[in-house]
C-alpha cells in the first residue's frame, strides 16, 4: 500500500481489496497527531492561566490592527498602550505568525515556503499599561514593515487596579 509523503497516511489503490485496516491506521495516526497538538496547546494555555488566574487576576484582552511605518531601532520602538499589563501578545500579518511572549525576548519566523528559518531578536519592555519593543536588524523583524497590516491580540490584567 502506498502512503502520502508527509504524514505517511495509507493510500488506497483501485486494485486493493477493501479492508478496514488501512483506514483504521490512518485514523489512529490522525488521532495521535491531534492529541499531541492538543497537549501543546494545553501547555501554552496553562502558562497564560498560571500568570493570570492562579494569582487571582481578572483577565483583560485587547485586539486590533496597525499598519507598519517602516521605522525600527532602539530609539524608535513599537509602542502599544492597552490600559492593562499584558502577559502575552501575538502579532500576525497575512504571511507569518509571530509572538511576543513575556517568557522570551525573541521570535522565530518561518518563511512562507517553510524551508528557511530566520531568527530575529526583539527587545520588549513590559509595562503596567502596555508593551513596547524594538529590533536592531530592521523594520520587518520589529514587526513594523512599511505598509504591512498587522493584527494583534494581547492578554493581561489591570495591574494598577488590582494592586491598589
Residues 150 and 88 in one domain: yes
What is the predicted pLDDT for the residue at 147? 93
Residues 10 and 41 in one domain: yes
How many structural domains compose the chain?
2
Distances (CA, A) of 51 to 57, 61, 63, 73, 103: 8, 14, 19, 29, 11
Residues 37 and 94 in one domain: no
Residues 15 and 84 in one domain: no
Residues 92 and 39 in one domain: no
Residues 135 and 94 in one domain: yes
pTM: 0.56
C-alpha–C-alpha distance, residues 70 and 78, integer Å: 10
What domain range includes position 109? 59-162
pLDDT tens-place values along the chain, 164 residues long: 788 887 788 888 888 887 778 878 888 888 888 788 777 767 776 666 666 666 667 788 898 999 999 999 999 999 999 999 888 888 877 555 444 444 333 343 333 334 444 566 788 888 889 999 898 889 988 889 999 888 888 888 887 776 66
76, 132, 101, 140 alpha-carbon torsion, rounded to 10° = -20
Phi, psi of 118 (to 5 degrees): -115, 135
Amino acid at each position: 500500500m502506498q502512503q502520502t509523503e508527509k504524514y505517511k497516511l495509507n493510500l488506497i489503490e483501485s486494485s486493493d481489496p477493501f479492508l478496514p485496516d488501512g483506514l483504521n491506521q490512518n485514523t489512529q495516526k490522525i488521532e495521535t497527531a491531534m492529541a499531541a497538538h492538543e497537549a501543546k496547546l494545553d501547555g501554552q494555555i496553562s502558562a497564560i492561566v498560571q500568570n493570570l488566574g492562579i494569582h487571582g487576576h481578572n483577565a483583560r484582552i485587547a485586539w486590533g490592527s496597525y499598519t507598519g511605518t517602516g521605522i525600527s531601532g532602539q530609539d524608535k520602538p513599537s509602542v502599544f498602550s492597552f490600559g492593562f499589563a499584558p502577559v502575552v501578545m501575538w502579532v500576525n500579518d497575512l504571511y507569518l505568525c509571530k509572538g511576543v511572549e513575556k517568557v522570551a525576548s525573541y521570535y522565530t519566523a518561518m518563511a512562507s515556503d517553510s524551508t528557511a528559518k530566520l531568527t530575529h531578536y526583539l527587545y520588549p519592555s513590559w509595562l503596567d499599561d502596555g508593551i513596547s519593543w524594538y529590533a536592531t536588524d530592521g523594520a520587518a523583524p520589529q514587526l513594523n514593515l512599511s505598509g504591512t497590516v498587522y493584527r494583534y491580540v494581547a492578554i493581561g490584567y489591570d495591574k494598577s487596579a488590582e494592586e491598589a
